[in-house]
Amino acid sequence: MRIRELSVPGAWEFTPRQFGDARGVFYESFKASEFEKAVGRPFDLLQVNISTSAAGVLRGIHYTENPPGQAKYVTCVRGAFLDVVVDLRRDSPTFGKWDAVVIDDVERKAVFLAEGLGHALLSLEDDSTVNYLCSLEYAPEFDRDLDAFDPELGIEWPTVGRNGETLTFIRSDKDAAAPRLADLKLLSRLPGTSAAN
């Protein structure tokens, strides 16, 4: 497995080795020993989520108050997504910085993001399916949202999907009404720890 840290500390990209033959393909999507060696901590799995999205569906930016925080290990099992990680830890030297990885059913990359980081997914084709491992069970009282189109972040969202089609962004009402970073700063609604892991 090839592993690299993203430009946002506490976020990592994992690219598995794939073994194919006439029967199909085998690969290890997650391996605790390699994860711990790279990241320096175990991953405590408490919940697994799966969602399927049409092309253009944009989920996020979502984050969890820290503490308790929620770490995620995200993989695409069908289709393709742009996976975006944003540093929302207010005392972090990379606060407000973002990085992105295309996760798809070809290279089968995974993205890990530590507690205190924001996360968004843009589906790049119809019926794209994502699987994410979570270190915290769903706790709506800790869930927070940030506007994915906040100009202060300047995220470069693609407008063309994997098959060359023009993407029309589709967001939930909750995500469309999410506050901007400046508002969250005023409300003191941002994670406070900059621990990288």
The catalytic site residues sit at 62, 132
Q: 3-state DSSP call for residue 192?
A: coil
Structure tokens at 2: 């090839």
Instruction: Give yes or no for a contact between 7 and 13, defined as CB atoms under 8 angstroms apart.
Output: no
Question: Distance between CA 32 and CA 23 in Å, rounded?
Answer: 27
Residue entry with tokens 């742009």: 82
Distance of CA 18 to the CA centre of its chain: 22
Nearest to 102 by CA among 72, 81, 123: 81
Q: 3-state DSSP call for residue 176?
A: helix
Question: Distance between CA 9 and CA 172 in Å, rounded?
Answer: 29
Nearest to 61 by CA among 119, 14, 113: 119
